[in-house]
Amino acid sequence: MVMIDVKHSELCSAVGKNIPVDELSEILFDFGLELKKHIGDDLSIELTAERSDLISLQGLARALRNYTGLEDKMPEWNVKKSNYEVEVTDMPKQWSYVVCAVAKNLKFDDEKIREVMRVQEKLAGTFLRNRKKGGIGIYPLDKIHFPVKVIGKNPDKVKYRPLEYPKEITAKQILSLHPTGKKYAHLVEGWKKMPFFIDSEGTIMSMPPIINSHTVGKITPDTKDIFIEATGINLKVLEEAVNIICAMFEDMGADIYSTKIKYSNRTITTPNLAPYERQVSINYANKMLGLKLSRKDTEKLLKKMMYGISKTEGDTIKVKVPKVRVDLWHQIDLVDDIARAYKFNKFPLTLPSISTIASTLPLSDLSEQLSDMMVGLGFAEIYTLGLTSTVDQYEKMNIEPDEHIHLNESAEQGINMTRTWLLPESLNSLEHNKNRPVPQKIFECSFVVIPDAKEDVRSRTVKKLCACISDNVVTFTQIKQVLDALLCAYNLDLEIQKTKHSSFMNGRCGKIIANKKEIGIIGEINPAVLSKWSIVSPTACFEINIDALLELMEEK
């Protein structure tokens, strides 16, 4: 959750209506927010983390105007063309993207400057994950000489005066001497180069993601025009952050101007505040919410949440979405907004029409049966993590990378995907227990994630069971006996079809076929694979698809 502090009088002024605090509290609750504290004119409002567009006073007022019916149109912003250019060269690979904009004709006072700084820090702290994804800088435009360069340099060889510091020091010293530098030094630990904004006269503007220059990086009540930049690791996220800030400034009365960002291989123009499109099925919304909304009702509720109605075709409503809405992934997100506009307290309370007794899912029942049998066969159950690496899943298994769900970011280096099969993780467990006595007989019954473009989320979870025997001597026959004992109770027509697989020894590997359908693989692990895992004992394994096994049983 995210807390924002606003003045009640300023919020009412921005909304355009004097709303008593008690009424405002109810409106916020219906909207999905909460008034946590009210002392005099000061309000503390709790937002849900995904609504970054509401972090500013202007963003919250914008949403409340539509929600309370004072407006029924989608907010739009105008970005004017300009000749401002920023050249990006030789950036550190850890921090390679830049997005910029210009805002003119602002009227600042001390309170508005504090508000801008608060929004800047809230965005950096929440949406940009405490500057791990990116940092935001704001500068007085009249102190900058274009074109501006963003370039990576050795921090030992760059000197400037950081914000609110008495003298010039090297960029490297900023990380150990300046309070902000010390706070965020961990973000750039080990970097040989640091990014610097430098204007055409050679003036150091800032060292992102750490701190601005005191000379050209400080906003005052006399500032009328500003330069906005965001730098970081993900271009899309940075564009979204700058869009939110630009929308806030335009709502404050500013004119927004574009900036050309020149990379070595392309040029982009930012910001882009044009709306994008999404669509929602009326029947789907009614099914999810248990309502009977008409097309007209649904359109009216969507307008309350700042959507523009683009087109309605049969059951489908196409909507235009304000660019600041960065939280929409699926049509269920539109359904959630429809529910907020309808108001949760208005949903009819109904008793169930039938009495039912809860029970476990068939897949859970089958998984539990198989696990119990594996324990009865003398195997120990293990639990491994769903997040893994391409090295473990492919390289160490002696196979080429296949389609998988890739992780863009991870707190732990090396973790970069979700697992697609269990066997590598079982071998990893054997590696960590290689100094223990053999035989070692382990199994895992758990989910893997398979990419699937047909699914709404472009992937599906599949439950599998993997079993391994590691001993001084182990044969294909031993692991096959375990498979036979496990599946004999299900009266399946089971056979092993000889196959080749780089993870297994030639001639000692087969597809597991049940009722003419492939459900898994079995074999003795290739010594080259065992060597990569540093496993000294011969090992035989099988892995079966429990979802596929359940389908076969249900067909009978």
pLDDT at 169: 96
CATH top class, domain 2-67: alpha beta
CATH number of 79-270: 3.50.40.10
257, amino acid identity: Y
Residue pair 70/15 in contact (Cβ under 8 Å)? The answer is yes
430: helix, strand or coil:
helix
* Positions in the chain whose pLDDT score sits under 50: none
pLDDT at 224: 96
Question: Which are the contacts of 288, defined by CB distance < 8 A and separation ≥ 6?
Answer: 332, 335
CATH number of 276-343: 3.30.56.10
Give helix then strand counts, H and E, for the chain: 16, 29
Q: Could you give phi then psi for residue 543, rounded to 5 degrees?
A: -140, 130
Q: Where are the domains of the chain?
A: 2-67, 79-270, 276-343, 362-555
Tell me how far apart the alpha carbons of residues 169 and 210 are, in angstroms, rounded to a whole number.
14
Q: What is the pTM assigned to this prediction? A: 0.77
Picking from 203, 199, 211, the residue whose alpha carbon sits closest to that of residue 86 is 199
pLDDT at 427: 97
544, amino acid identity: I
Question: Which are the contacts of 407, defined by CB distance < 8 A and separation ≥ 6?
Answer: 387, 415, 416, 417, 418
User: How is residue 256 annotated by DSSP?
Assistant: E
pLDDT at 397: 97
Same fold, 79-270 and 362-555: no
Question: What's domain 362-555's superfamily in CATH?
Answer: Bira Bifunctional Protein; Domain 2 (3.30.930.10)
